């Protein structure tokens, strides 16, 4: 069921309480998500974004309870990804000729996915659409996070429909930022930024500056996932600016993957050295074989240094660590120090492989690594403690 945001705007999306994996299996959604669609009514009526395709029929049924579909004059698709354009499948059967306003790249992505020649109207930054007393202005946001992404600004109500930007995969009964648990909200917001937007941080910064320079009043930010930023809406914009500037906290994360606990013991020795050298640092130990990969990446995003350990297996590294390295490479983290460690029984390639992976991902890698033959003995533990201290010196150099 929809709800009224104000006299001219209604939320008409779907809440996906059951979602636990998004983007196939790539993104964990521990708290579900929502696909936010907005009905904007003035002398003319526009629908901004739709929902994910499995909800397409339900979306249209619900929409019919809000409005006679024939009264929808325009459809705005801010982004062609299926979680926002999927509702078009059922909707366009009902109102086939309705113009769809989107970027030229969105025409390509929507046609590529649905193979339909709907009535597309291409728009670019600065183009406007009058609804009567109120006007929608389009702002392209290329690569935030697809080439087709854009935002739509509604004057007089001063609402920015930001699509994915400023969103969270967070299903909640309270749909405003001030009616939900703040720690849950910001945990989901930072996870979303870390796992989806990090590679585009420079563009995030540029786009936000561009929006701020326009000097437009923003009373509300309505993203396409999660809650609406109604109370102090610019707080999430300020937060994005901070995250976009090669964010780091005073945190070091030690990730490890272990076959017979030896690499875990090494992780603990390193951590002891770090704690001795810099007691103020926030230290996180994460067994990547047992931890959700997106949660690991969120901790890495927050860290100024990452120590990654794996046992050696078949002349290589354990598979979850290999997967993590692949994801780190894609996310293009900046301003992070790295180092590698791992136990072995005979060949012992793992630290070298990890170092190469971290180096290829732009980490400032400490040349020295820490290896332990079989189970670390007292001498090896001392070596690990010294290694942890060296890592602090490496970060502070
Ligand atoms: Fe929420 Fe890029 O889709």
**Contact indicator for 38, 10 with CB cutoff of 8 Å:** yes
Which of 302, 265, 264 shows the shortest CA–CA distance to 283? Answer: 302
* Distance in angstroms (rounded) separating the CA atoms of residues 346 and 361: 28
Residue 103 reports pLDDT greater than 90: yes
* Distance in angstroms (rounded) separating the CA atoms of residues 131 and 123: 16
* Distance in angstroms (rounded) separating the CA atoms of residues 108 and 120: 10
Q: Is 359 a catalytic residue?
A: no
* Distance in angstroms (rounded) separating the CA atoms of residues 307 and 41: 53
Q: Is 192 a catalytic residue?
A: yes
Helix (H) or strand (E) holding 319: helix 319-331
Supply the Cα-derived Rg of the chain in whole angstroms.
24
From 16, 225, 299, 394, the catalytic residue = 225
Q: Is 68 a catalytic residue?
A: no
Q: CB neighbours of 175 closer than 8 A, spacing ≥ 6?
A: 3, 11, 34, 227, 228
Name 77's bridge partners.
Answer: none
Q: Report which ligand 1 atom has the smallest distance to the Cα of 225.
A: 1
Per-residue pLDDT band at 41 (split at 50, 70, 90)? very high
Q: How far is the CA of 16 from the centre of ligand 1 (A)?
A: 14
Q: How far is the CA of 368 from the centre of ligand 1 (A)?
A: 41
Q: Is the CB of 169 under 6 A from ligand 1?
A: no
Residue 396 reports pLDDT greater than 90: yes
Q: What is the mean pLDDT of residues 147-156?
A: 98
Place of tokens 């297996």: 313
Q: Report which ligand 1 atom has the smallest distance to the Cα of 224.
A: 1
Q: What is the pLDDT of residues 359-386, one digit of tens each?
A: 999 999 999 999 999 999 999 999 999 9
pLDDT above 70: percentage of residues in the chain: 100
Q: Is the CB of 371 under 6 A from ligand 1?
A: no
Q: Is 84 a catalytic residue?
A: no
**pLDDT value of position 319:** 98
* Distance in angstroms (rounded) separating the CA atoms of residues 50 and 56: 8
pTM for this model (two decimals): 0.97
In order, the DSSP letters of 243-286 are HHTT---SEEEEEEE-SSSHHHHHHHHHHHHHHHH-TTSEEEEE
Q: How far is the CA of 163 from the centre of ligand 1 (A)?
A: 8
Which CATH class, in words, describes the domain spanning 3-244?
A: alpha beta
Protein residue with its CA nearest to atom 3 in ligand 1: 81
Q: Is the CB of 191 under 6 A from ligand 1?
A: no
Q: CB neighbours of 306 closer than 8 A, spacing ≥ 6?
A: 252, 253, 254, 255, 300, 336, 337, 338, 339, 358, 363
Place of tokens 């930023």: 229
Q: Is 295 a catalytic residue?
A: no
Q: What is the pLDDT of residues 252-264, one digit of tens each?
A: 999 999 999 999 9
Per-residue pLDDT band at 1 (split at 50, 70, 90)? confident
Q: How far is the CA of 386 from the centre of ligand 1 (A)?
A: 45
Q: What is the pLDDT of residues 65-88, one digit of tens each?
A: 999 999 999 999 999 999 999 999
Q: Is the CB of 16 under 6 A from ligand 1?
A: no
Q: How far is the CA of 375 from the centre of ligand 1 (A)?
A: 46
Protein residue with its CA nearest to atom 1 in ligand 1: 164
Q: Is 225 a catalytic residue?
A: yes
Which of 96, 101, 51 shows the shortest CA–CA distance to 75? Answer: 101
Phi-psi group of 41: left, alpha or beta (phi > 0 → left; psi -120 to 50 → alpha; rest → beta): beta
Q: For residue 369, what are its two tokens?
A: 């690594």
**Contact indicator for 257, 267 with CB cutoff of 8 Å:** no
Q: Is 115 a catalytic residue?
A: no
* Distance in angstroms (rounded) separating the CA atoms of residues 192 and 194: 6
Q: How far is the CA of 83 from the centre of ligand 1 (A)?
A: 6
Most distant CA atoms of the chain, gap in Å: 78
Q: How many CB atoms lie within 10 A of CB 220?
A: 20
**Contact indicator for 51, 87 with CB cutoff of 8 Å:** yes
* Distance in angstroms (rounded) separating the CA atoms of residues 276 and 314: 35
Q: Is 30 a catalytic residue?
A: no
Domain ranges of the chain: 3-244, 252-396
CATH superfamily placement of domain 252-396: Flavodoxin domain (3.40.50.360)
Burial class (CB in 10 A: 0-12, 13-18, 19+), 106: buried
Mean pLDDT over the full length of the chain: 97
Q: What is the mean pLDDT of residues 268-291?
A: 98
* Distance in angstroms (rounded) separating the CA atoms of residues 96 and 167: 30
Q: What is the pLDDT of residues 308-329, one digit of tens each?
A: 999 999 999 999 999 999 999 9
Per-residue pLDDT band at 294 (split at 50, 70, 90)? very high
**pLDDT value of position 350:** 98
Q: Is the CB of 79 under 6 A from ligand 1?
A: yes
* Distance in angstroms (rounded) separating the CA atoms of residues 13 and 48: 10
Q: Report which ligand 1 atom has the smallest distance to the Cα of 196.
A: 2
């Amino acid at each position: 069921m929809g709800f009224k945001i104000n006299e001219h705007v209604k939320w008409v999306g779907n809440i996906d309480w059951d979602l636990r994996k998004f983007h196939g299996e790539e993104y964990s959604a521990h708290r579900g998500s929502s696909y936010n669609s907005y009905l904007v009514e003035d002398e003319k009526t526009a629908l901004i974004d739709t929902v994910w395709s499995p909800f397409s029929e339900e979306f249209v049924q619900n929409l019919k309870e809000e409005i006679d579909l024939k009264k929808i004059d325009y459809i705005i698709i801010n982004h062609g990804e299926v979680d926002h354009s999927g509702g078009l499948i059922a909707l366009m059967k009902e109102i086939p000729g309705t113009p769809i306003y989107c970027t030229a790249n969105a025409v390509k992505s929507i046609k590529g996915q649905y193979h339909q020649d709907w009535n597309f109207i291409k728009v670019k930054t600065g183009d406007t659409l009058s609804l009567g007393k109120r006007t929608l202005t389009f702002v392209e946001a290329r690569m935030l996070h697809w080439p087709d992404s854009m935002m739509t600004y509604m004057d007089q109500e001063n609402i920015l429909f930001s699509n994915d930007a400023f969103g969270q995969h967070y299903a909640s009964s309270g749909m405003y930022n001030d009616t939900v648990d703040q720690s849950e909200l910001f945990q989901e917001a930072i996870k979303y930024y870390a796992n989806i937007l990090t590679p585009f941080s420079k563009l995030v910064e540029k786009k936000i500056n561009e929006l701020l320079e326009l000097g437009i009043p923003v009373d509300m930010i309505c993203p396409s996932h999660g809650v609406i930023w109604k109370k102090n809406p610019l707080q999430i914009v300020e937060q994005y600016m901070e995250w976009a500037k090669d964010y780091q906290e005073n945190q070091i994360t030690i990730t490890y993957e272990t076959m017979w606990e030896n690499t875990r013991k090494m992780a603990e020795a390193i951590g002891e050295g770090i704690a001795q050298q810099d007691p103020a640092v926030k230290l996180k130990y994460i067994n990547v074989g047992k931890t959700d990969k997106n949660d690991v990446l969120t901790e890495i995003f927050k860290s100024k240094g990452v120590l990654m350990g794996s046992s050696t297996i078949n002349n290589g590294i354990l598979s979850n660590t290999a997967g993590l390295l692949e994801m780190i490479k894609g996310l293009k983290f900046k301003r992070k120090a790295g180092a590698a460690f791992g136990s072995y029984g005979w060949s012992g390639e793992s630290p070298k492989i990890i170092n190469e992976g971290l180096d290829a991902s732009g980490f400032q890698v400490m040349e020295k690594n820490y290896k332990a033959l079989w189970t670390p003995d007292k001498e090896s533990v001392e070596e690990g403690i010294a290694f942890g201290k060296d890592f602090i010196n490496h970060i502070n150099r």
